[in-house]
Amino acid sequence: MDLTALSVLGFAIMLVLILSKVHIAFALGAVGLAGLWYIIGPNALAVLKTIPWAHTAKFELAVLPLFILMGMFIVSSGVAVQLFEAASKWFGNIRGGLLIATTVSVGLFGACSGSSIAAATTFTMLALPRLLEHKYDPGLSGGAIAASGTQAALIPPSALLVFYGILTELSIGKLLVAAVIPGIISVLLYMAAVWATLLIFPEKGPGRIAYTYREKFMSMKGVWPIPVIFVVMIGGLFFGIFTPSEAGAIGAISALAVALITVGWRKSGFFSALKESAHASAMIFIILLGAFVFAKFIAVTKVPNNIAEFLANLNASAVMILIVILFIYLLLGCVLDAVGMIALTVPVIYPIIELLGINGIWFGILLVKVVEIGLITPPIGINVFVVKGVAGPHLEIGQLFKGIIPFLIADVVTIVILLAFPGLVLWLPSFM
């Protein structure tokens, strides 16, 4: 069989397996191994020996479980309440201040916890009752919480960026630093989306809620450890003081210290955090191994080279091809979860990106931003369903998807800005 036809068949079989509820790690690994066996015979079994060691026995990969562990400690420290109270007081004097405070605090909490689902769940319970009490539109309120939780995918420390860095063997430190400016832009545009929506539809939210400066500064008492941890980690990476893995260790220890100080040993969830982070890390690494086996199969078929040659013959610019690839990711994001989509596609797409001369770090940030959109678009839109599940009868799914629209527009604007000005992504990493 022709190798290109074999790769297409393999991809089709893999999709059937995934749709049949076979775990994506085993679907990737099984198809990849079967394809290699067809091409090179029983020697294909050697990949089961070499790939796990070659791609996981690395010190720098410790950053992933450490970031996850840090997020677990942050969740148990009760920082969510402090973040929301501080943000609501600082943004109270702006039109729609409580809703803007929600978007900021959900985004920051999501970045700290590393989980958009945890952020959406926590703030649906914490912020939604307050928003409804102050007569904010239910759909817009729930949409803001669902959308803001997706910021966890981009704002450092981002587990998805680490996952992408491992698959592409790019510098994880540079990827994390590269996400700082896009993350700030994304948060600012979400705030602008709330402000603009309430300006156009003032009936969807109340006016300003004034607080004194004393109340504002007092609210920062329980929040200050979070920006300190962030600045120390990103600053240390930027100035080369420590590696990403060391940054993860510092973040995890600092988050544990915050949890011990704020809620004490019994409520810190130390052992459950270890258990949950080990479980999540094991799941991600088994997906990585399956993806690397599949990537080996795809590399042997030379499909990425053939696709790159075909695209080059179209006489389209690299940026236009990049836009087409991102649009395909937008469609995939509607039916696949974030980790699965990256594991499934990056082994095929990234070699093409390299051959086209597109910067891998720039592409990674754009990819993760597109993945964020997939978290809030139907038919999956997992964050939307999480908010609906926690809110219960207070929200209808139709209201939520309608409330998401301003934030989807903000996300598209962010992608356009990052496409038009790649320096916003690449400027900080250029100093490392």
pLDDT beyond 90 at 332: no
CA distances for 39 relative to 13, 52, 327, 387, angstroms: 17, 21, 33, 47
- List the domain boundaries for the chain: 60-288+303-431
- Identify the CA nearest to 162 among candidates 150, 186, 149, 178: 178
Euclidean distance between CA atoms 133 and 126, whole angstroms: 12
Write down the mean pLDDT value for the chain.
Answer: 83
**pLDDT tens-digit readout, 396-432:** 888 888 889 999 999 999 999 999 999 999 999 988 7
Yes or no: say if 345 and 291 are a contact pair by the CB < 8 Å rule.
no
Are the C-beta atoms of 220 and 84 separated by less than 8 Å? no
Measured distance CA(360)–CA(363) in Å, rounded: 5
Percent of the chain with pLDDT over 90: 11
* 178: pLDDT strictly greater than 90: yes
Range 73-82 average pLDDT = 76
What's the pTM value of the predicted model, to 2 decimals? 0.83
**Cα dihedral 278→360→168→35 (10° resolution):** 130
- pLDDT at residue 355, rounded to an integer: 82
CA 74, chain centre distance (Å): 17
Structure token pair of residue 213:
């400066």
The rounded distance, in Å, linking the Cα atoms of 203 and 200 is: 9
